[in-house]
Amino acid sequence: MFYIIGLGLSDEKDVTLRGLEAIKNSTRVYLEAYTSILMIQKERLEAFYGKELILADRDMVETESDEILHNAANEDVSLLVVGDPFGATTHTDIILRARALKIPTRVVHNASIMNAVGACGLQLYGFGQTVSLVFFTETWKPDSFYDRIKENADLGLHTLVLLDIKVKEQSEENLARGRKIYEPPRYMSIPTAVSQLVEIESLRATGILDPNRTLAIALSRVGGGDDNQRIVAGTLAELLAHPADAFGEPLHSLVIVGKRLHHLEVDYAEDFAINRETWRVVARDVYGCSLD
Amino acid sequence: MFYIIGLGLSDEKDVTLRGLEAIKNSTRVYLEAYTSILMIQKERLEAFYGKELILADRDMVETESDEILHNAANEDVSLLVVGDPFGATTHTDIILRARALKIPTRVVHNASIMNAVGACGLQLYGFGQTVSLVFFTETWKPDSFYDRIKENADLGLHTLVLLDIKVKEQSEENLARGRKIYEPPRYMSIPTAVSQLVEIESLRATGILDPNRTLAIALSRVGGGDDNQRIVAGTLAELLAHPADAFGEPLHSLVIVGKRLHHLEVDYAEDFAINRETWRVVARDVYGCSLD
């Protein structure tokens, strides 16, 4: 059996009992290298499971899947991924390959940011499509996310914005010289994300991301408990002016609040507001929420 | 500490280690009665946890939350819910109440249909807003879901349709006589859901739910393993004509496929198709997918 096991969002205790059982019974256990974004280290997982983990980077999962799937028809093999196996990064390729090889497959689901985002207090029903935001460079500023956010905004829907992660990047020099030396991983922070959103708003000027009239909620380390999880709500302008370290450790995600905002959502998220008064005033005057 | 713990989608092994630890340490453990939709019985959970569970119906969670929260500042109390605590049914009310009482709260996330729907092979990025479909009666056929699906469809997005569950319903006679006798729970099945969609399509006639030109994917018991989980793909007409028992046990959910369909999504879900040829032909000719 080939298992793809979601590890959830926070640490080694977020695995499900079903997942842990499969890991313990597996002869080989791969850990997707994106898992460096888990809040814990490989060594800690290994100690917890009492198993050696084989690191599998994204390339390996996509192009060398036969190695991972080797003999999985006759023994149990597990691939561990952060969040849910069908989260932002899907694993349909390797499942298709397993099917072609007639290897039975089981997916062990878990929480991912796609559903745990509900922790910010906005109803999941009110979200439109999810978008990704990549790091801008001097010469490359892809802005199709703006059209997607606008599609959601025009319907009054919230948007979950997933922020870029760069792992296994090479510097231009190392790339040119063919040296497989990689830069340390980079995670987009809330201030960077908001500044990129506002930069594109200043070009497009439709008003959907007006810094003083748009509410947003920043999330970091959802599921990590009060000691670790941070949720910060405010206008885009407030988030931009907020101290960068107040958003906590990566990973960060951002929600752009849509106009179908309900007063209970306002009440719930007010607890996370940088400034409770601004939060309520914008919700009432710009979003048209009926508040006491 | 007050814990709200997601149990995941399938059985007792879907709880996370963090969740199980909290349950074991709690002096009182409530099980939300909607949990009758979990695939397992209360007694089986009790045996597994070695704990007595107190059933809490939706009314109790919403209006008698002080009883649940009693003394939770000084001892651990857990409320167990199916899926994730911020799934289709949110638990923001009781968390707001806990905050007001200065009771520390921790949410233990888990998979819910809102992210596990990815198991059908459609990318979560391609989903718009989620809608709910309630049981029609002779005189009451609320159809606002149609507008929501159309908003998604106009953007080419998929729609997750959550199907109605009726628990603690009273017959008209029992209601009239004030007898608190409840009907057995009812779960909307895929054939009922599709027939309701098609009924409204015949009135609205915009074509977004044309039975022969709309692809959909039915899911039941996601996460339940191959022995239990069923995924069935086809046109709405095919789903309607398919034997009702082929969709498996409740709960059922339905995905209406949007036009931003990718050929890899078609390939993946083809394995679930009632008729592979129809599936590909409609994807190619109606959805405009480039297929080999």
- The per-residue pLDDT for range B233-292, each reduced to its tens digit, is 999 999 999 998 899 888 899 999 999 999 999 999 999 999 999 999 999 999 999 987
Q: Any idea of the CA torsion for A78, A79, A83, A89, to the nearest 10 degrees?
A: -150
- Indicate the residue type of B61: V
Which tokens sit at A120? 């910010």
In this structure, are strands A186-187 and A165-166 parallel, antiparallel, or unpaired?
A: antiparallel
Contact B109 A116 (CB under 8 A): yes
pLDDT at position B8, please? Answer: 92
- The residue among B15, B48, B96, B124 with the most chain A CBs within 10 A of its CB, best to mutate, is B124
Q: Which of A84, A92, A96 sits opposite B111 (nearest CB)?
A: A84
Q: Which of A6, A116, A127 sits opposite B129 (nearest CB)?
A: A127
pLDDT at position A282, please? Answer: 98
Contact A109 B17 (CB under 8 A): no
pTM of the prediction?
Answer: 0.94
To the nearest whole Å, the CA of B20 is away from the closest chain A CA by 9
Nearest residue on chain B to A267, alpha-carbon basis: B96
pLDDT tens-digit map of B125-152:
999 999 999 999 999 999 999 999 999 9
pLDDT at position A91, please? Answer: 83
Q: Which of A12, A112, A115 sits opposite B87 (nearest CB)?
A: A115
B-chain CB neighbours of A155 within 8 Å are: 129, 151
SS (H, E, C) chain A: CEEEEECECCCHHHCEHHHHHHHHHCCEEEEEHHHHHCCCCHHHHHHHHCCCCEEECHHHHHHCHHHHHCCCCCCCEEEEECECCECCCECHHHHHHHHHCCCCEEEECCCCHHHHHHHHCCCHHHECCCEEECCCCCCCCCCHHHHHHHHHHHCCCEEEEEECEECCCCCHHHHHCCCCCCCCCEECCHHHHHHHHHHHHHHHCCCCCCCCCCEEEEEECCCCCCCCCEEEEEEHHHHHHCCHHHHCCCCEEEEECCCCCCHHHHHHHHCCECCHHHHHHHHHHCCCCCCC
Q: Using 50, 70 and 90 to split pLDDT, how confident is the model at B37?
A: low
- pLDDT tens across the length of chain A (292 residues): 999 999 998 889 999 999 999 999 999 999 987 644 656 788 899 999 999 999 888 778 878 899 999 999 999 999 999 899 987 666 888 999 999 999 999 999 999 999 999 999 999 999 999 999 999 999 999 999 999 999 999 999 999 999 998 877 778 888 888 888 888 888 899 999 999 999 999 999 999 999 999 999 999 988 876 668 999 999 999 999 999 889 988 889 999 999 999 999 999 999 999 999 999 999 999 999 998 7
- The residue among B86, B219, B253 with the most chain A CBs within 10 A of its CB, best to mutate, is B86
pLDDT at position A156, please? Answer: 98
pLDDT at position B38, please? Answer: 59
A-chain CB neighbours of B4 within 8 Å are: none
pLDDT at position A250, please? Answer: 84
Could you list the residues of B known to form a binding site for S-adenosyl-L-methionine, using ranges: 9, 84, 87, 112-113, 163, 222, 252
Q: Which of B84, B106, B132 sits opposite A115 (nearest CB)?
A: B84
Could you list the residues of A known to form a binding site for S-adenosyl-L-methionine, using ranges: 9, 84, 87, 112-113, 163, 222, 252
To the nearest whole Å, the CA of A171 is away from the closest chain B CA by 30
- In the predicted structure, residue B88 carries a pLDDT above the cut 70: no
CB A86 within 8 A of CB A113: no
pLDDT at position B101, please? Answer: 95
B-chain CB neighbours of A48 within 8 Å are: none
pLDDT at position A226, please? Answer: 64
pLDDT tens-digit map of B224-246:
766 689 999 999 999 999 998 89
